[in-house]
Structure formats: structure tokens, C-alpha cells
Amino acid sequence: MGTSGRISPSISRPFRPVPLTVTAAVGALVLTALAPGSATADPTPRPVTREGSPLGADRAATTPEAAAERALRDASSAAQGLGTDNGRGYPRERKLDVPPANPADKSIKLGLTPYHGIAPKLNALQRVGDRVSVEIAGRSAGGHQLYLVTVTAPESARETARQTRMRERIENDPARAAKDRAIKSSYKTPVFVNNNIHGNEWEGTDAALRLIERLAKAEDKDSRELLARNRLYFNITTNPDGRIAGTRANANGFDLNRDFITASQPEARAVRRIAVDKQPAVMIDLHGYVNGTLIEPTTPPHGENYEYDLFLKNSYANALGMEAAVNGLGYTEEKDGVKPAVIPFRDQQEGWDDWPPIFTPQYMPFHGAVATHTIEFPLQVNNSAYESQPVAELRRRAAVNVDIAGAAMRATLDWTDHHRTSVIADQIEVFRRGAAGAEQVPVSEETVPGVPGIGPEDVYTTEFPRAYVIPAHGRGQRSAPAAARLVDHLIANDVRVERASHGFRLGGRTYPKGSYVVDMHQPKRGLANVMLADGRDISDKVSTMYDISGWSLGRLWGASVDSVERGDLRGVHGRTVRAASRVGYVAPHGDLRLRLDDPREIAALNSLLEKGVSVRRDRDGSVVVPSSARRAATAAAKKYDVAFDATKAKGGPALHRTRVAAAVTPGELFALREMNFDVVPVSTTVLNSGFDWQKADVLFVSAGLDRGKLNAAARAALDRFLAGGGGLVGRGGTGAALNADAGLLPVKAVTGNGDANGVVRVVNAGGTVTGGAPDHSFVYSPSWFTDLGRGVRVEQRYGTGDPLVSGHWRATEDGSGGPADAAGRASAVSGSAGGADVVLFGTEPLFRDHPKGAFPQVGRALLSVGR
């Protein structure tokens, strides 16, 4: 994980915290089909046809998210196929293209392998014996190949096919798999080693290359038997962009170890495909830098959707082996600056949790891994140390870290090999519980023997709903595109989704044919639930969290999702689908109405504006497209899978292509570009260097811009832009501060607890910014607005009572800044002042792809202000 910008104390824990009650009931959700004319439940995607323009059959070829997933699958297939054996055994030699040498690669200074040096090494290792195979798992955001190496004893095509059948039986028929003697005796345990997901935490890559070489050449009996009984998968560098540049993030500016569950980045999607296709039973993720070497399992709170008893049993045992191996290298604090290894579950009280599924080791258990770990090397070589330490010292530290990473890898392989029968049995049990709808087993000293210090504070379980259903286009569904995206995302994560061929009644509600049903009696129920459920308010459980504490794609991605707590699914008839039904549609006659309730709809609108189509805004926030633009609308509907319905509304003011000067986070920049805005990044430095405001219609500020630090010329230019009708959209403290410093909207911004985050209830005022918006949003360091002056319009308020649905939001030490202070307060405001139209947000509507359903609020705001 590395540093996160959040509090992560290293607290000695000779005792465990006070017992807590941590059970919660979650209802079931029903997802209904997105177009009323969609009558079949065929698993093959078909075009949605209403009386209008047909838009083609294959949504997977047209929607941005599905197209990216398909491209990854195609690339994998071309590279000898992740998850597809293609009638081939092992090894599978593939000659890799060697990138041009890059002397600027930041790895070189550390004496480590630069990215351009990896392919030659792998090419050479494939020629050593018959144990090493390489696949291309995908490409990074910057276009670099991701190398997945498989190390195992040779297999004939027939044996590989047999291994595949056993792997599929483990997931798809776990009750039979538990009794299958062949699985017990000859199934190869899949072990996954993930390296360098943070680009400037380099050493796992070199340790993996060293270990692969040793295994490729080893002739000893233990090594031969290890490879005969196991398949070892090494993702050599998950983040080549960051490895080359010496940055934590990828080329898009994303921290990839925060991207699981949303999978906005190609690297996260590649690891997701590895999880689905290889089905690791054990995995470790190599990071830096925490001294002594940190080896998970973690402190509370623990993810409530895991089969945590099975997870803790195996993860703790493997951690002990890694600890012994790392300490056994003989490094000391006095001589080498290396402290003894730390296991947070045993040695710390809180601050390093496994609650959110956004980290690789916290995502993998939902695909059947029963032992997963973050490993943090001890000696820092990145950030300030990279610049300040002598090269010789950096190389000494890096060499120590490589040794420690290698020790953790070897210990994991040894432990897995010695416990492979029980490890596979526990993986089968994870899937069996899901398929049977069995209750979770709370951890205790009785249920997880051999793990010391288990207490009530470690018990986190949930009550799974019977089903999830997403209602169809119409009164029951807020956004058809959002619902389609959610269904596709579930399927990409290997969650089974059925589409009803007839109307049905479930949980006291009636649903039409075409409804999507997620039967929670399925092997990966934990993954379905972690994405769709509301989550839980854990503010009273611990004082601090490592990263986010609340998330819910069911609440935040913009689709209406129903929860069915109990019900008989025998009346639901349908088939498992491979993709959501298309929702793209263009009415055959008259002017057209495009709703702006989803990022795809904003993207479609911006594509029309870019082409010069005359579009008018309507009062409810939708837009009117003239009938003369039907051909352009048809192309947009096909590309973005959105609907243009017939309308008699004439609309109001004409919209124009909005050029955005954006001082924002990388995630927000990514979201703006996803919505097809014309964006120019700016900052205090950029403006001080001289910025041509003729290139912008609106300024969006959330980070990196301080009016007080602008030079006189830059400040005057900014003020002229605002006074001349340039719009301002602000988010958080930085946006509110610019508004105040420029003397614009008369409001007082109140900042809540900076450590707070989660899913919150909101009440929308309607109109051009929040009309039809979801009644939930996301906060991270929340703020709100008081002392509203004349002309200020409240666009959105926090819910009354306790607005926090799930997450961690406490008052500060003086009792202020908590959810009670925010309740009922304005979370988004707008108005005109000083010649500028202004919209300010106290929520975080573009946070890391989590609140997808709130993206359009920012899109609408940008379209509604400015010249």
C-alpha cells in the first residue's frame, strides 16, 4: 500500500480493543432490464429495438467500458490467451518485443531492472528449460505491456485441459469438487505474486525475476516437486508507467492500488482478468516502505463480505512463515537499519485495515484466494530519499529490499506447497458457502484455532440478501445507461447475472420481463454484495482508517437497485447473460430529448456540440436536439449507448462547446475527459507563467490553485476572466477558497472532519444542476455552506438526521465537523456574483470513479456557467 495521505499509525498492541457488536442486515437487490422492448433472456447481446433507429447488435463493441474489457480479452487471446488454453499445454514460449532503451528510467539509479530490460530477461528465461511461459496480460495507461509469467512443470495439452476442468469445477460445482479425489491429488495450486503496482516501489519486480530464474534452472527435488504441484503466476510489473517515471501512480495519475472494485484503469482490469481466469488460492502484493517489514493480515475492521474465518486461518499462518524468512536473513537495525518484521493483526491496534475492497489483497479473496497479503519492504528509496540519498546508499537499500521481497515470495511458495490440500479445500469452501447461501462463520479462538488474540473486535459479518434486481427503463429505473454499465461491470467481475424472460414478483414487488437478477446463492456472492450493498457506518468501531471506509456501486453508480431480503426465486425464469442489453435508441420523428443523468449522456452531448449541432437546454436539466440532427444523434446513440426520445419541448438557451480550465486531481481530470469536455489543466504555476484565458469558458477548481499565490499579472487576468462572464465551478476547500478570495458567491464554507469519507444521503433541489440526480453522493473531507447571501441557490443538501450511510465520519476532538453538523446543510450551491456564474460543491462527486452517478452534476454545472 505504501503511504496514503491518511493516518496509519504503528501502534503497539499488547491487548485487543473493547468488544464491539458488528453485524448488519443487507437487503436483496433486483436489477431490471433497461429497455421495455427487450423481451428475451438470450445470453447473447442483442439490439434493443423500439420504433426508432436500430443501433447495432453488440453493446460490447460500442460502450466505452465494455469495449475496454473486450480489447483486453482480445489482446490476451492474441498473446496466447489469459484464461483460454487454446488446446495448448505448458510451456508456451512467446518472444517479447524489446522496448527501446530508456536511460531516463528511474529504476536505473537504484541498480534495478529498467522496464526496457525486463523483456530481454524474460525472453532468455523462456529458453532455459521448459518451465517458464509469458503472456501479455494487457497494456498500461501509458501503452506499456504487462508481462504475466507462469512457472510450472511441463504439461501436455490434455493435462492443461484437465487442470482447467478442475479449476472450473472448484468454482462452479464446489459441492462436487470437495469430494473430487483428482482435485485433492493432482490439482495445481494457483499462486499469484503481484509486483510494483505502485511504480516507485520497485523491488518486487527484481525479486520476482531472480526467483523465476532460480526456478527455471533448479534441478533439486524440492523445486521439481514444487512446480509439479503448483502453478506460479508473476505479474512482473503492474505499473510500468510509474516504474519508468518513478511515480506512485500510472500515466493517468491513478493510484492503481485504490482502483479495484471500480477498475477504471487498464492495469486494474488486467489484474481482474488474472483473478477470474487463474483463480489464485494464495497471493502476495509487494510494496514499500514500512520499517520493519509489514506483513498482513491486518488490524480491524475486517471486510464483512469475506469468509474471514478461512482467510484469517491461512493468512496468519503464511504471515508467520514470511516473518521467519525475512527475519532469518540476518539484517538488523543496528547494522543495516532493518527492524524486525511486523504483522499488524498481532502487533498493532488499528490503522491498517482490510475493510475496503480497493486494494489488490482485499479484492482477491472474492475470487477464492484464502491467503492474501500486502508486504511492505523496510528501506525507503523513493520520494525524498530518491533525491537526497547517495546512489551507493540507495542501491544498498534496494538490494536489501530485493532480498526481503524474495524471502517473502519463497516462504509463501513453501507454505502453499506444504498446505496445498487444505488451501484448495478452503477455496472450495468459500465457493460452496456462496453457492449454498450458507451463513458466514464468525471468527473466534474456536473457529480459527492457532491464531492468538482473536476478540469480538475482529468479528465482522453480514447477512446476505436473497437477490439483487435492477429495474428496467421506465418508472422503476432512474438511468438506463447507468443500469447497463452496472450489469456489465458485475459480469466483468465474474458475478452471475440472469435476465428474466417473463415478468415476476419478488420481495413484494412486481418486475417486468427483461429484469436482471443477481441470485445471491452463487460462488462469488461476496463480490456481488461488496459492490451492490449500502455498506455500513463504522464510525464508532475504530478511531482511524487507512483509506476509504464507504463505497456502494448500487447507490453511487446512478442506477436504481432494489434489495430483496427474502423471496422465492423459483418464479424467476431467465438465463445467465454475458452483457447487458443495449439501451441506445433514437426516436423516428420530431425533435429529440437527451437526458443528462449519466456520464455517457454528457459525453454524447459534448460530441454533438463538438460537431456544431444546435442543442438547447431544458429546465429539468435535459437537452433538446433538433430533428435535423437525427443522423448525428444516431451516431452518438450507437457510440455511447444512450437514448434520444421524442419531445415537443422547445428548450431554452442554446448550449455551446464548453472549454474547461481545470485545476483538479488526476481522477477528476480523467472523469472530465471521459465526459468529452475540452479540458486544459491549469495550476498556480501555469497561471503565473501566463495563461491565455481566451482558451477557456469556465474554470473548475478543486486542487493546485491558490489565488493568494498568484503574481499580480496572473491575478488580474483571472479576475478579468471572471468579471467578463467566465464561470467558476469549485469543489471542496480549494474551490471554496478561490470563490471567497475572488469575492464572488456570498457563502461561508464550513469544513468537516478532514479524515471523514463515505456514502451520504442528499436531497436535490432539481433544475439544471441536480434535477433527477441520485439521492446519495460521496464525501471525502466533507464541507458544507452556511450564511447564504442574497441570490444564492441551494442545489443540494445533506440529508437530515445522520446523513452518513456507510463509511467513517466522526466529529473532531472539539465536537465539531461531524455528520450532525452537516445534516440539512447545503452541500452544493450556485448563483451569480461579480459577473461570474458560480457552482460550489461540498461533496466529492468525481472521486476515483466511485460516484459515477454524480458525475453529471459536475458536467451540468460546467455547461450551465461560463461565457
Looking at the annotation, which residues are catalytic?
Answer: 429
Give the E-state strand segments of 809-866 in sequence order: 826-833, 836-841
Is the CA virtual torsion 224, 225, 231, 236 positive or negative?
negative
Instruction: Give the 3-state secondary structure of residue 517.
Output: strand
The separation between CA 630 and the C-alpha centre of its own chain, rounded to angstroms, equals: 36
- Measured distance CA(693)–CA(689) in Å, rounded: 13
Grid coordinates representing 5 are: 495521505
The string of DSSP codes covering 130-192 is T-EEEEEEEE-TTSPEEEEEEE---B-HHHHHHHHHHHHHHHH-HHHHTT-HHHHHHPPEEEE
Phi-psi region of 128 (alpha: psi -120 to 50; beta: other; left: phi over 0): beta
Grid coordinates representing 520 are: 445471491
Nearest CA-CA partner of 302 in 554, 532, 23: 23
Instruction: Say if CB 564 and CB 507 are below 8 A apart.
Output: yes
The C-alpha cell 482435485 sits at: 183
Grid coordinates representing 200 are: 516507485
Q: What angle do CA 354, 355, 357 make, to 5 degrees?
A: 90
Nearest CA-CA partner of 638 in 686, 681, 604: 604
Instruction: Say if CB 121 and CB 146 are below 8 A apart.
Output: no
- Measured distance CA(845)–CA(851) in Å, rounded: 6
According to DSSP, the residues that pair with 498 across neighbouring strands are 517, 576
The string of DSSP codes covering 450-498 is T-TT--GGG----B--SEEEEPPSBTTBS-HHHHHHHHHHHHHTT---E
- Label residues 771-803 b or e (16+ Cβ within 10 Å = b): bbbbebbbbbbbbbbeebeeebbbbbbbbeebb
- The count of other CB atoms within 10 Å of the CB of residue 650 is 10
Instruction: Give the 3-state secondary structure of residue 71.
Output: helix
Instruction: Give the 3-state secondary structure of residue 360.
Output: helix
Grid coordinates representing 98 are: 524489446
Instruction: Say if CB 637 and CB 55 are below 8 A apart.
Output: yes
Output the CA–CA distances (angstroms, integers) from residue 706 to 185, 701, 738, in the order listed. Answer: 65, 10, 7
Nearest CA-CA partner of 413 in 324, 278, 282: 282
- Measured distance CA(691)–CA(188) in Å, rounded: 60
Nearest CA-CA partner of 847 in 667, 704, 673, 672: 667
Instruction: Say if CB 292 and CB 342 are below 8 A apart.
Output: yes
Residue type, 107: S
Longest pairwise C-alpha distance within the chain? 82
At a CB cut-off of 8 Å and minimum separation 6, what does 210 contact? Answer: 402, 406
